[in-house]
Structure 1
Amino acid sequence: MTGDAVAPIRAFVMDLDGLILDTESLCLEVARTVLAQHGKTLTPEAQHAALGRRPLCAWRGVAEAVGLDVTPEQLFEESEPLLSARWSEAKVLPGARRLLQHARAAGLKIAVATSTSRATFGKKTADKPWLLELLDAVTCGDEVENGKPQPDVFLEAARRLGDVPPSACLVFEDAPSGVEAAAAAGMRVVAVPSMLLHGSTTGFPQAQPNAASGLIQILPSLLAFNAPSWGLPPFADVVEGVIPLDYPFRIRGTVVKGFGRGSKELGIPTANIDADSLRAALAEAVTGIYAGFAAVGHSDQVHKMVMSIGWNPFFGNTEKTAEPWLLAEFDEANFTSLEALIERIHKDGSEASAALALPPLSALKDDPFLQPPPPADAQAGAAAAAGAAAAVTASGAAAVEE
């Protein structure tokens, strides 16, 4: 990956929804509610049709995908009050704040080019003053004639930045329509596919690392952005190969029989958390390896932990899962299959253990979230932990740098 053969990067232009803020999870919940009122179900095809579009265009695509004979205007009117009441719930996605602050410290200009309206943008960012302070310009979907995949919003963003030509802008997008729009504007693009796509790059063009415009690179998350490859200083926050998160994840669930990359198949004592209890918690979790601390059941003992979050292709997972490995000695059968995978898991464990012994990550061991539940919950908790299951609480996750 290089930016040396063409104009040096002078500005980042960021999409908002699904890239900086996890608004897409809220939109999905509301879309399901609205469609259910019309006797329809939100399908994956409908989700893809809406991704990255302005609200009316998104609803038009959804209605067509599910065969609903209702105008997009009516669907918008039904959904907007539900969304307006919940925009403040949108969380910042992992790596977004870190990347923006790093770009600002490196002297780059920063703009947001979003399909959302100006009024809705204000609601989404009302409780995030730090984000507004980092931005030099914002262009919203109702401020240009044509929405994505037309280039209008990106060209206007560059114009508002002042003296930065499109060729010197690096765009970050999560949707194919946004990538197409930025490429049409003559900008280079880094795609971070929406979590709604389950990590799939379907719909995205082939990345051309040395191109003067268009899709240059596809990343699993903003945490994977390699700043030096773009002529920027390296990030200074990495601890023993681990990136501390601005907002640690705190998740709780019941352990079920492992079907990820550990468990008895590999001789490594990992286990999976049941999907139902984690569905909301994992909505904003990008796939990857996380380091943190965990407690089991009603014990007051806290263990170092390394955890895989994602869709494991080897076992054909259809839902995002969390598979923690507590870095302590437990009795477990020792198997010797899939040697390369086992070696990598142990590498993750070693890096996580070293990083968790150092600040700022070491302080997370004392997180109140990890304390045993109050006595009133003890009986119910014991029932949930019966048999081979055990409740696991994980806190302070940090991404392990690849």
Structure 2
Amino acid sequence: MLGGITVGLCNYLCMLLKPTRGIVFRNYHTVTHCIFDMDGTIIDSEVLYANVIRKICSKYDKTITDGLLNKVIGVTDRDISQMICKELEIPIPPVEFEKQMKDMTTASANTVPTKEGANKILNHLKSHSILAALATNSTGETVRMYAMAKPELFGHFHHMVSVDDAEVHHGKPHPDLFLVAASRFPAKADPKHCLVFEDSPVGVEAGISAGMQVVMVQDKRLMNTSLRKFKATLILTTLMDFSPEIFGLPPYNS
């Protein structure tokens, strides 16, 4: 009996320590619910946003640096507009910059690709009756825009929470979005039993502040950034590298 337990334990440890592109920062705990960010996590809209921002800046003979673009990854459209208008001294009000961003992204919504592995994990969770929610710094209008463009993908979510939701007082990096999302699961999910999927530093900070474990799917623009400062539970190159069983979720079929 003891030998069987020892072998089982060794196998489990080997599974955890097997070569992977993920980087572990703390112990894993079993979860019951999952919460996903939108931009850069399930859809590749961050690239679209970056291109739109560059085009708007160029209209006013301004050039945005990669460093400034990295600073606005994952933050709200309003904050993006305010930061860029201030830093680059763009001669329009931030609200006008935000409007131009909205108009240009809306025109290209149907061209935004789904992130690698997003359909796989969402289909898997749904097939095992694991509830998932969306929590994003984007507005409700933007969420609806992408949901209309990708109804099958967004149809996996039990509910979706946007930054302009009445119960959300502060966007990421504050924890509001994730706490509201957890509260809207049936019987209200305990934050410590929720697993967050994020791509941005502000999103990771929000998830940790909410008392949740966070899987960070690394944004390509952060490849040369020290990952350890983000304090995520796990960092992956792509959602395809995710192993559900290490968080107590049903494993993928081999």
TM over 0.5: yes
Three-state SS of the structure 2 residue aligned to 1:58 is: helix
User: What SS does the corresponding residue of 1:191 show, helix, strand or coil?
Assistant: strand
Native 8 Å contact 2:31 2:249 kept in 1: no
**RMSD in angstroms over aligned alpha carbons?**
2.1
Q: Aligned partners of 2:109, 2:30: CA distance in 1, in Å? A: 36
CA contact (8 A) 1:140 1:153 kept: yes
- 1:85 is aligned to 107
Partner of residue 103, structure 1: 125
Q: Does 1:165 align with 2:187?
A: no
Aligned to 2:71: 49
* Counterpart position of 1:355: none
- Whether the 8 Å contact between 1:45 and 1:65 is mirrored in structure 2 is no
Alpha-carbon distance, 1:206 to partner? 5.5
After TM superposition, which residue ranges in structure 1, 4 or more long, deviate above 6 angstroms? none
1:137 to 159, 162, 175: 159
TM-score w.r.t. length of structure 2: 0.83
Helix, strand or coil: the match of 1:26?
A: helix
1:29 aligned residue (40, 44, 51): 51
Alignment correspondent of 2:218: 193
Contact map agreement 1:190 1:219 (CA 8 A) in 2: yes
TM-superposition CA deviations, 1:199-243 (whole Å, max 9, x none): 244376364xxxxxxx21111110111122122333226xxxxxx
Larger Rg: 1
- The amino acid that maps onto 2:226 is T
Q: Flag structure 2 segments of 5+ consecutive residues without an equivalent.
A: 1-15, 17-23
- 1:80-121: CA deviation from partner (whole Å, max 9, x where unpaired): 211111111111010011011112223311000001111111
Aligned to 1:234: 251
Identity %: 29
Query: Does 2:141 correspond to 1:116?
Result: no
1:216 aligns with 2:233: yes
Question: In the superposition, relative to structure 1, how do residues 65 and 203 fare at CA in structure 2: closer, same or farther (>3 Å)?
Answer: farther
- SS of the aligned residue for 1:19 comes to coil
Distance 1:204 1:19, change over 3 A: farther
CA offset digits 1:59-86 (Å, max 9, x no partner) = 2222344343543212112222111111
The answer as to whether partners of 1:138 and 1:157 remain within 8 angstroms in 2 is: yes
Shift of residue 166, structure 1, vs aligned partner: 0.6
Residues 110 and 149, structure 2, Cα contact 8 Å, conserved in 1: yes
Instruction: Output the CA distance in 2 between the equivalents of 1:204 and 1:148.
Output: 19
| Whole-angstrom CA distance in 2 between matches of 1:139 and 1:95 | 22
* Residues 204/58 of structure 1: CA separation in 2 closer, same or farther (3 Å cut): farther
Count how many residue pairs are aligned between Structure 1 and Structure 2: 228
Q: Which runs of 5+ in 1 are unaligned?
A: 208-214, 238-402
Contact 1:49 1:65 in 2 (8 A): no
Higher helix share: 2
Counterpart CA distance in 2 for 1:9 and 1:160 is 16
Contact 2:28 2:246 in 1 (8 A): no
